[in-house]
């Protein structure tokens, strides 16, 4: 099964860090791990992606376990605008790079 | 920079009518293109992808079809819409190689 496992929902307080977990125990060596987030009635927004090493960008950090069977998206300081559904996705290896979406984690941010 | 457009933004169609949704990408060449559908409260389901002009791969059997008449144009069609075709349709593009996909704003389709 190419899908990942994420908690259905999480809550965070504004200005606090958020750690969103994801399990992908059947990932293969060439599959990238992608994170997207989606606000209601909008298309998914790219957040970050990586293969083996931890990754940082202006939006978030991605911590990938050494065995690559799990990863964690880290939002360093949650804001109200970070409230969204977060999808952790395996990018299937190959030139087409298909993404298999699961149900994601609905993140709520409390002021 | 690259941009992706979809239209229309919203569409209400009767059952049995035809459908044509268009997606265009600017600022890149030879992108991989994708059509997804998202039913209410659900995740995204990949419908079609294309790695080049005239090359279409279908992920799920359905009454929809896709075409790529130009390098940066991707069209989703149906000859006769079903109630179950209602949903949020998203187009995405990806540059060749190990990069990620970028999504358009989507088209919300309601079949009555």
Mean pLDDT of B7-17: 96
Ramachandran bin of A94, using left for φ above 0, alpha for ψ from -120 to 50, beta for the remaining angles:
left
Q: How far is B35 from chain A (nearest CA, A)?
A: 11
Which residues on chain B are in Cβ contact (under 8 Å) with A34? 100-101
Mean pLDDT of A65-69: 92
Partners of B34 in beta bridges: B49, B92
**pLDDT category of residue A96 using cuts at 50, 70 and 90:** low
**pLDDT category of residue A94 using cuts at 50, 70 and 90:** low
Residue B108 at interface with chain A, using a CB cutoff of 8 Å: yes
For chain A positions 69-88, those within 8 Å of chain B (CB to CB) are: 87
Report CA-CA distances (Å) from B12 to A4, B74, B87, B109. 34, 21, 11, 6
Q: How far is A102 from chain B (nearest CA, A)?
A: 6
Residue to substitute from A3, A5, A43, A87, interface B, most B β-carbons within 10 A? A43
Mean pLDDT of B58-65: 86
pLDDT tens digits, residue range A22-55? 999 888 888 889 999 999 889 999 999 998 889 9
Rounded Cα gap, residues B78 and B66, in angstroms: 9
Percent of chain B scored above 70 by pLDDT? Answer: 99
Mean pLDDT of B67-73: 96
Provide the pLDDT for residue B68: 97
**pLDDT category of residue A108 using cuts at 50, 70 and 90:** very high
Which CB contacts under 8 angstroms, 24+ apart, belong to B82-85?
B82/B15, B82/B111, B83/B15, B83/B111, B83/B112, B84/B111, B85/B19, B85/B109, B85/B111
Provide the pLDDT for residue A3: 76
Which residues on chain A are in Cβ contact (under 8 Å) with B57? 96
Mean pLDDT of B25-37: 94
Provide the pLDDT for residue A31: 84
Provide the pLDDT for residue A93: 59
Provide the pLDDT for residue A12: 96
């Amino acid at each position: 099964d190419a899908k990942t496992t994420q908690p259905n929902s999480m809550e965070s307080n504004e200005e606090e860090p958020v750690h969103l977990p994801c399990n992908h125990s059947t990932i293969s060596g060439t599959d990238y791990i992608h994170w997207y987030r989606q606000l209601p009635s909008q298309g998914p927004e790219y957040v970050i992606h990586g293969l083996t090493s931890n990754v940082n960008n202006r939006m978030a950090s991605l911590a990938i376990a050494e065995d690559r069977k799990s990863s964690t998206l880290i939002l360093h300081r949650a804001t109200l605008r970070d409230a969204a559904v977060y999808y952790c996705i395996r990018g299937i290896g190959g030139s087409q790079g298909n993404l298999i979406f699961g149900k994601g984690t609905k993140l709520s941010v409390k002021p | 920079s690259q941009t992706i457009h979809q239209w229309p933004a919203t569409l209400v169609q009767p059952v049995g009518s035809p459908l044509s949704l268009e997606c265009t990408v600017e600022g890149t060449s030879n992108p991989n293109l994708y059509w997804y559908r998202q039913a209410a409260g659900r995740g995204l389901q990949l419908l079609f992808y294309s790695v080049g002009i005239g090359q279409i791969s279908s992920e799920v059997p359905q009454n929809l079809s896709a075409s790529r008449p130009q390098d940066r144009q991707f069209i989703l069609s149906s000859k006769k819409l079903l109630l179950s075709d209602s949903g949020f349709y998203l187009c995405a593009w990806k540059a060749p190689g190990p990069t990620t996909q970028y999504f358009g704003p989507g088209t919300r389709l309601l079949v009555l």
